Amino acid sequence: MSKVKFFIFCGSVVINCCMFLYAQEVVTVSLSKDKAYVGDIVEFVVKADLPKNTQISAVQNFKLDDFEILSTNIKRLPSDNSSYELKFKISSYKTGNLIIKPLTVFYINPDGTNNLFFTPEKSIDIQSLIADPKNADIKDIKSLKELKIKGGFTVLIVVVLFFVVMLMIYILKDIKEERKKAKIIILDERTLALNSLNDLYQNRTNLTTRDFYYKMSEILRTYISKQYKFDAMEMTTSEFFEKTKEFLPAEVKVNEFKNYLKVFNLARYADFTPNEKEIEDNYIFTKKLLELI
């Protein structure tokens, strides 16, 4: 009886071992290249033959030391419903002979229970773009991820950049022209004379009455000389009156202009001191002449 039990036990062990071996996953890994530079994108492919009617969970958190996983794609191979392919795009940010350590992959058995398998280790030689031996200790920086930009968005960016550049060119051109205009602006003779008269009147307290009237007469004669192309500075008062009355505007009466010139003579050569009201009136009349003649 004991021999029968022994043979039954041995048979059970053999059957279980066969079932165990049959149920084991067959997992292989491969790389798109055995050597790469820092920042290169390498495809790391895992092929797994799993027990029938199993499914690999799509929600998994894969991580690799020394590598960044840029994308993950899991698909069932069409030839066999128990074979899967896991394709990873990875990029290294270190140099040397690096080991891609085992990944933990979860899958679901036909009865709904969870199971897992580990991918085999795989090595890859990562080289530096910096070939100078003097910089042997310098490591390349971590690579940037691939940017996925839709075509329409790219066109929009280009259009916006174009308009920004054109706007900047227009603004700079406008600023340049304004500066150029500012440099070539030359005040006309009337404006110069009016500005000089205003400055003289504002600072009259620093001058004697004689000097004030002399300078006011000088401003008027200088302006008329330049405006009508004759030397008014060398003329007597009567000569200046006869020459100037020809082009007096209708707003200025001839007798008023004549009396105005007499006051200048009195203030410049005689012992005559106009009061503040008279000085202001003569200033206003001089300003009127400069504006109208």
In tens, the pLDDT along 34-55 reads 888 888 899 999 998 888 888 8
In this structure, of 13-17, 62-66, 208-212, 254-258, the range with the lowest mean pLDDT score is 13-17
> What is the token pair recorded at 150?
């839709």
> What is the token pair recorded at 28?
């292989």
Token look-up 């004697």 returns: 208
- Residue type, position 163, single letter: F
Residue that wins the pLDDT comparison between 180 and 42: 42
Q: Strand locations in the chain, DSSP E?
A: 26-31, 35-37, 41-49, 55-56, 67-76, 83-92, 96-100, 104-108, 114-118, 122-127
Residue that wins the pLDDT comparison between 117 and 135: 117
Query: What does the angle CA 246 – CA 251 – CA 254 come to, to the nearest 5 degrees?
Result: 45
pLDDT at residue 262 in the model: 86
pLDDT digits (tens, 9 = 90+) for 68-112: 999 998 888 887 667 889 999 999 888 889 999 999 998 888 887
Q: Is the pLDDT of residue 255 over 60?
A: yes
Mean pLDDT of 173-183: 72
pLDDT at residue 135 in the model: 45
SS3 236: coil
Q: Is the pLDDT of residue 16 over 50?
A: no
* pTM of the complete model: 0.40
Query: Model confidence at 181, in pLDDT bands (50, 70, 90)?
Result: low
Of 208, 210, 216, nearest to 284 by C-alpha is 216
Distance CA 11, CA 253 (A): 143
Query: Model confidence at 138, in pLDDT bands (50, 70, 90)?
Result: very low
Mean pLDDT of 185-209: 86
